[in-house]
Amino acid sequence: MLTDDTKKEIEAQIAIYGRREAACIGSMLIAQRHVGWISDETLEDLAKFLGMTVEELDGVATFYNEIYRKPVGRHVILVCDSVVCWIMGYDGVREHLTRRLGIDLGQTTPDGRFTLLPVQCLGACDHAPAMTVDGELYIDLDPEKIDKILEAHT
C-alpha cells in the first residue's frame, strides 16, 4: 500500500512531467526507496495511482536495472559486464566479488548485506572495470580496491 508520504512525492514527480504515465519510472524509484523493492502489490497500487495497467508498469520495471522486482540486500552492487569491462578485467572482478561475498551474480548474501547484480554498461569505459554500490560509481577496480569498497559498506 502506498503511504501518504509516498503519494505526495509521486504527485511532485507527476507535476514535473505533466502526465501521470510519464512519471512511472520516478514513481517506482520513490516507492522502492520507501520499501526496498517493487512487490506485486506495490506495482498494482502504483498502476492504479498512475492510471496504467499492471502489465504496462511491469514492462517498464523489468526494463530498468535499478528497479528491483525482488527483495535486495541493504547494499546493491552492480558490476559492469560490458565488452570493455570484459577486456579490462571483468572476470577477475566478478571472481573476486563472488568469492569474497560467497554468492553468485543475482544473489544476496545470507546476512542480507549485499546483492550482486550484473549490468550491461555503467558508462565508465575509460576507467574499466567498474561497478556501483548503492549508485556510487567505482572505477579502475582491482581486488584491493574492491575489498576497501566492501569494508566501507559494513
pTM of the model: 0.86
pLDDT at 53: 97
Residue 97: name the closest of 82, 113, 121, 120 by CA: 113
Candidates 3.30.1240, 1.10.287, 1.10.10, 1.10.3470; CATH matching 4-63: 1.10.10
Q: How confident is the model at residue 70, as a pLDDT?
A: 94
In sign, the C-alpha dihedral spanning 116, 62, 58, 7 is positive
- C-alpha–C-alpha distance, residues 37 and 29, integer Å: 9
Residues in the chain: 154
| pLDDT value of residue 132 | 96
Over residues 24-76, the pLDDT tens digits come to 999 999 999 999 999 999 999 999 999 999 999 999 999 988 899 999 999 99
Distance, CA of 145 to CA of 129 (rounded, Å): 11
CB 67 within 8 A of CB 28: yes
- pLDDT, averaged across the chain: 95
Homologous superfamily of the 75-152 domain (CATH): Glutaredoxin (3.40.30.10)
The beta-strand segments (E) located in the chain are 75-80, 107-108, 114-119, 131-133, 136-138
How much of the chain is helix, strand and coil, in % rounded to 5?
A: 50, 15, 35
Beta 131-133 vs 107-108: how paired, if at all? unpaired
Distance CA 71, CA 115 (A): 9
pLDDT of the residue at 149:
97
Burial class (CB in 10 A: 0-12, 13-18, 19+), 46: buried
Please report, for the chain, the start and end positions of each structural domain, with discontinuous segments joined by +.
Answer: 4-63, 75-152
